[in-house]
Amino acid sequence: MMESHVAGTLLQRIDLALHSALRNDSKNDFEPNDSRRWEPKRLLIKGVAERVWPLALERVRLDTPHSSMALVINSFFPWEKDVARLPLAGKVGFDAIQFNVRCPTGLRGTPPHLDLMTLRDDHVIGAAARAVEFLKRKRASISKNYDQSLAETRGMEPWRAHLQAWRAGDVVYDHVDLAALAKYATALGRTFPDRSSTLVYLYWEPLDAMCYDEFRHHRLELAKLAAAVEGARVDVFTQTFDSLWQSWLDQGGPAWLDNHVERLRSRYAVSLGATN
């Protein structure tokens, strides 16, 4: 009960901080109909909100300032016109960028949806974004059919072994949703059997994240996962959104990039204040 109360308090602080940043970033006096829901376009930063969305995004639910999909759209949508220059997970030279991509696994049931996918001839990156999801206790379930599918997919033995260790209780994750990530890895491995792939895990943190145990533990769990599946044909690359934006600046880029990152940080670079 205490853990649930602490998580709830932290989520409330995040909600208040991001709501405040969104209101401050707004150019008018718009207020939502209630304190929790916003019109989708209001969640998008200047330079993105004015663009015409791809059809795949029309079905995406965007109604809170901590929407992980809004983070993805705000961060990556401007790169559509410069996709070849987009740096992601140490790679550049992509031919295409797609949002909210359904990625079949060959198994029955609803296929997993990756928030973002970038492609080039020799490599595919599928990205999963997390804003506050890892602070909640709800986790995905995963059929044992995935164990067999991973065993039958070339280069995916590290994922199968780690998933089985998790099922046996030898590996425990309190914040990382291993079941969901194993589904994404399976989908990438089976959909692109002739290319190497990277599962990129992008996550949001407040500026004072290291003052909170939850964010520190989340990072440790991500490091554990990356080490466990090292050598798999679908590897894992983890990064905070702010680190991603800074890497874009460090590597140089299109003329619009500096203003873009400034807008992103104006919206998302917040502190939560007093610790637990």
Can you give the pLDDT of all 276 residues of the chain as single tens digits? Answer: 334 444 568 999 999 999 899 888 765 444 544 445 556 677 888 888 776 666 556 566 677 888 899 999 999 999 999 999 999 999 999 999 999 998 888 787 778 899 999 999 999 999 999 999 999 877 778 999 999 999 999 999 999 999 999 999 999 999 999 999 999 999 999 999 888 999 999 999 999 999 999 999 999 999 999 999 999 999 999 999 999 999 999 998 899 999 999 999 999 999 998 654
pLDDT score of 252: 87
* Residue 237 phi, psi dihedral angles, 5° rounding: -125, 125
- Sign of the torsion angle spanned by Cα atoms 174, 180, 186, 189: negative
Of 101, 273, 116, 136, the residue nearest 201 (C-alpha): 116
Task: Give the strand pairing for 96-102 and 196-203.
Answer: unpaired
Residue 86: the pLDDT is 97
In sequence order, the 6+-apart residues with CB closer than 8 A to the CB of 4 are 137
How confident is the model at residue 183, as a pLDDT? 94
The stretches of the chain forming alpha helices (DSSP H) are 2-25, 68-76, 145-152, 157-167, 178-191, 213-228, 241-251, 257-268
What DSSP letter does each residue of 152-202 carry, written as one string? HSTT-HHHHHHHHHHHTTSS--SSS-HHHHHHHHHHHHHH-TTSEEEEEEE
pLDDT at position 119? 95
Which residues neighbour 195 within 8 Å (Cβ) at sequence distance 6 or greater? 121, 122, 123, 124
CB 185 within 8 A of CB 161: no
Given the structure tokens 């190497």, which residue do they identify? 196
Closest CA to 238 of 110, 134, 120, 100: 134
